């Protein structure tokens, strides 16, 4: 399931985050690459152990925690601390797939990467190129969102970032392990949750149909979740 989630950060939130990360020292993006990705990756990144990266990651995690839509779509169990990258001057990231297991450097924290996410931090009008192209079951999906908006997609998807030929593209990216490993089951739960919210908005949370549908949702989550 590929879903765009608007307004993870508002304009002020983006500005506060950019004030933290823009002043930091950026390094070659291959510091977090696996062998295959390193062949295709040309960008810069904040070192994950840097003070700016840690402060920025905390800001992104707090914003994600305030988004009911993010929670409903991802059903997160564990989230890898968000990282930050930057593309300019023709830099790109060729077609690749994310590693199945992500290990935080210098710690025992690890996750199974079920979902990947990119939080865009630049106005798309300020740069050319830089689209995130995700190979979906319906074909390639090109994503370039407003600053503060996030796209969530299966980590198993082949994806790439097209060359940035004007301006600068800055983003936060992260991986997460979902309580529901299977993408199809996770999609079903998300669509059911959306339907429940729509019925409840019209008929109220106490409506018998809403109560019954909510019970079905939680019984499916009980069956499929690993928490």
CA distances from 61 to 57, 101, 193 (A): 6, 20, 23
Q: Which residues pair with 120 in a beta bridge?
A: 171
3-class secondary structure, 111: strand
Numbered residues of the known binding site for 2-oxoglutarate? 169
**Cα gap 92→69, rounded to integer Å:** 30
Numbered residues of the known binding site? 96, 98, 159, 169
Answer whether 210's CB lies under 8 Å from 199's CB: yes
Q: What residues have CB less than 8 Å from 81, skipping those under 6 apart? A: 48, 53, 54, 57, 61, 104, 174
CA distances from 152 to 5, 6, 182, 189 (A): 8, 11, 15, 16
Numbered residues of the known binding site for Fe cation? 96, 98, 159
**Cα gap 171→134, rounded to integer Å:** 16
Q: Which residues pair with 84 in a beta bridge?
A: 172
């Amino acid at each position: 399931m590929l879903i765009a989630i608007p307004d993870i950060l508002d304009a002020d939130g983006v500005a506060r985050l950019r004030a933290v990360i823009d002043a930091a020292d950026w390094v070659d993006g291959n510091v977090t690459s696996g062998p295959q990705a390193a062949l295709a990756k040309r960008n810069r990144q904040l070192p994950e152990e840097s003070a700016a990266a840690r402060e920025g990651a905390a800001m992104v995690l707090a914003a994600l925690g305030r988004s009911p839509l993010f929670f409903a779509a991802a059903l997160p169990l564990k989230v890898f601390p968000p990282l930050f990258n930057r593309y300019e001057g023709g830099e790109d990231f060729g077609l690749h797939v994310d590693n199945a297991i992500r290990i935080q450097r210098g710690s025992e924290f690890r996750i199974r990467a079920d979902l990947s996410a990119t939080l865009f931090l630049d106005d798309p009008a300020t740069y050319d190129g830089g689209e995130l192209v995700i190979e979906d079951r319906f074909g390639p999906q090109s994503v370039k969102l407003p600053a503060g908006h996030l796209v969530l997609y299966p980590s198993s998807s082949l994806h790439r970032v097209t060359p940035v030929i004007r301006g600068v593209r800055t983003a936060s990216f992260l991986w997460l392990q979902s309580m529901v490993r299977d993408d199809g089951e996770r999609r079903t739960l998300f669509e059911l949750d959306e339907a429940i919210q729509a019925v409840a908005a019209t008929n109220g949370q106490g409506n018998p149909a809403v109560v019954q549908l909510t019970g079905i949702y939680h019984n499916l989550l009980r069956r499929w979740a690993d928490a």
